[in-house]
């Protein structure tokens, strides 16, 4: 496992591997790795000949008042966790090299970046699409894997790769959860003890909504009401959104008559948590 800091060196190594007919799998991360990341890495290993994990806390996807500076970082710990997982290269460029003086090019996925997190984090998905486009061009993988916890992000990146003809498969993978259901996230490290207890009600509420759908409930309004009731009743969190969307194109839905995603964002104390769950009517053929 080699640590690569230089963009041009990474690009050269990738080109060489491609020319040798090797299939490259990329796992883009912002580091402070948890089990969710490691599952992505293992899957990449199963599907490719050469695994690249990028670790880059991307400044352009944080708003001016967001947590870029306090975002947790631990490269030594990350490298220890990756050991033995068959990673070939850990790519850790500097912000200065990724965004040199005069940098001015941005990629925008217009519709999918609107609504949900896009409404509360202006510019966030522009930063995500831009950095992922850059990482794709640098590493030139055959596929890249992302966790479904960041569902809207996954949809934005899928669309970007398709629209810009990047020729790269974008794969999603089930959210990995703590035993009590909390979706794993580097930001969970922000949670106080009290907040950590409250945080489990995001996934609990989503599971309850899923049960309702399995019992025949189709009304988005009713599902949202149930999720809100559980989160409001058990936490002092501030709800940003609770929404039901088409699982494929994130269109707003009123009725769950096809595969849908219920998505939530809640501030528990100073920590913003997101989660989502797939729901589909009993006889759905899609999904």
Q: Cα–Cα distance between 140 and 212 in angstroms, integer?
A: 43
- Least Cα distance to 227 among 277, 153, 188 occurs for 277
Residue closer to its own copies, measured from CB, 140 or 271: 140
Q: Cα–Cα distance between 76 and 80 in angstroms, integer?
A: 6
Among 133, 182, 247, 279, binds its own copies (CB under 8 A): 133
Phi-psi domain of 51 (left: phi exceeds 0; alpha: psi -120 through 50; beta: other)? beta
What would you report as the CA-atom Rg of the chain, rounded to the nearest whole angstrom? 19
Residue closer to its own copies, measured from CB, 33 or 157: 157
CA atoms within 13 A on the CB side of 75: 12
Q: Is 122 in the site for its own copies (CB under 8 A)?
A: no
- Least Cα distance to 181 among 230, 218, 124 occurs for 230
Q: Is 103 in the site for its own copies (CB under 8 A)?
A: yes
- Least Cα distance to 116 among 252, 220, 280, 267 occurs for 252
Among 249, 252, 286, 287, binds its own copies (CB under 8 A): 249
Build a one-symbol-per-residue string for 169-208: x at contacts with its own copies by CB under 8 A, - elsewhere.
----------------------------------------
Q: Is 166 in the site for its own copies (CB under 8 A)?
A: yes
Q: Is 164 in the site for its own copies (CB under 8 A)?
A: yes
Tell me if residue 37 is catalytic.
yes
For the segment 4-43, give every residue that binds its own copies (CB under 8 A).
7, 11, 15, 18-19, 21
Residue closer to its own copies, measured from CB, 121 or 134: 134
**DSSP element (H, E) containing 51:** strand 50-55
Contacting range for its own copies; rule: CB under 8 A; set: 23-31, 56-64, 74-82, 134-142: 134-142
Q: Is 213 in the site for its own copies (CB under 8 A)?
A: no
Only one residue has tokens 């496992």, namely 1
Q: Cα–Cα distance between 267 and 271 in angstroms, integer?
A: 5
Q: Is 283 in the site for its own copies (CB under 8 A)?
A: no
Q: Is 167 in the site for its own copies (CB under 8 A)?
A: yes
Given the residues 4, 13, 37, 82, select the one marked as catalytic: 37
Phi, psi of 219, deg, nearest 5: -75, 120
Minimal distance, residue 8 CB to its own copies, in Å: 9
The answer to whether 214 and 226 have CB atoms below 8 angstroms apart is no
Number of residues that bind its own copies (CB under 8 A): 31
Say what angle helices 151-163 and 124-139 make with each other, to 10 degrees: 50
Minimal distance, residue 166 CB to its own copies, in Å: 5
DSSP SS3 for 92: coil
Residue closer to its own copies, measured from CB, 131 or 183: 131
Q: Is 124 in the site for its own copies (CB under 8 A)?
A: no
Among 13, 33, 40, 160, binds its own copies (CB under 8 A): 160
The answer to whether 56 and 62 have CB atoms below 8 angstroms apart is no
Question: In the complex, which residues of this chain contact its own copies (CB under 8 A)?
Answer: 7, 11, 15, 18-19, 21, 102-112, 129-130, 133-134, 137-138, 159-160, 163-167, 249
For the annotated catalytic residues, the residue numbers are: 37
């Amino acid at each position: 496992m080699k640590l690569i800091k230089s963009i041009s060196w990474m690009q050269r190594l990738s080109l060489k591997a491609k020319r040798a007919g090797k299939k490259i799998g990329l796992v883009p991360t912002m580091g402070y790795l948890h089990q969710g990341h490691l599952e992505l890495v293992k899957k990449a290993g199963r599907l490719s000949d050469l695994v690249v994990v990028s670790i880059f806390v991307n400044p352009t996807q944080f708003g001016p008042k967001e947590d870029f500076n306090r975002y947790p970082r631990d490269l030594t710990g990350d490298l220890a966790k990756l050991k033995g997982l068959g990673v070939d290269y850990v790519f850790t460029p500097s912000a200065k090299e990724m965004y040199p003086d005069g940098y001015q090019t941005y990629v925008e996925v217009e519709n999918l970046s609107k609504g949900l997190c896009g409404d509360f984090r202006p510019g966030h998905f522009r930063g995500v699409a831009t950095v992922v486009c850059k990482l794709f061009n640098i590493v030139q993988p055959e596929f890249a894997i992302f966790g479904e916890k960041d569902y809207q992000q996954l949809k934005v990146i899928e669309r970007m790769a398709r629209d810009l003809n990047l020729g790269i498969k974008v794969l999603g993978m089930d959210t990995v959860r703590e035993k009590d259901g909390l979706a794993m996230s580097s930001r969970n490290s922000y949670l106080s003890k009290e907040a950590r207890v409250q945080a489990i009600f995001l996934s609990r509420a989503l599971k309850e909504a899923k049960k309702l759908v399995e019992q025949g409930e189709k009304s988005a309004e009713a599902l949202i009401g149930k999720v809100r009731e559980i989160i409001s009743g058990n936490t002092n969190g501030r709800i940003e959104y609770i929404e039901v969307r088409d699982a494929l194109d994130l269109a707003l839905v009123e009725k769950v008559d096809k595969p849908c995603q219920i998505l939530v964002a809640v501030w528990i104390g100073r920590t913003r948590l997101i989660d989502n769950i797939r729901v589909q009517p009993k006889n759905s053929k899609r999904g």
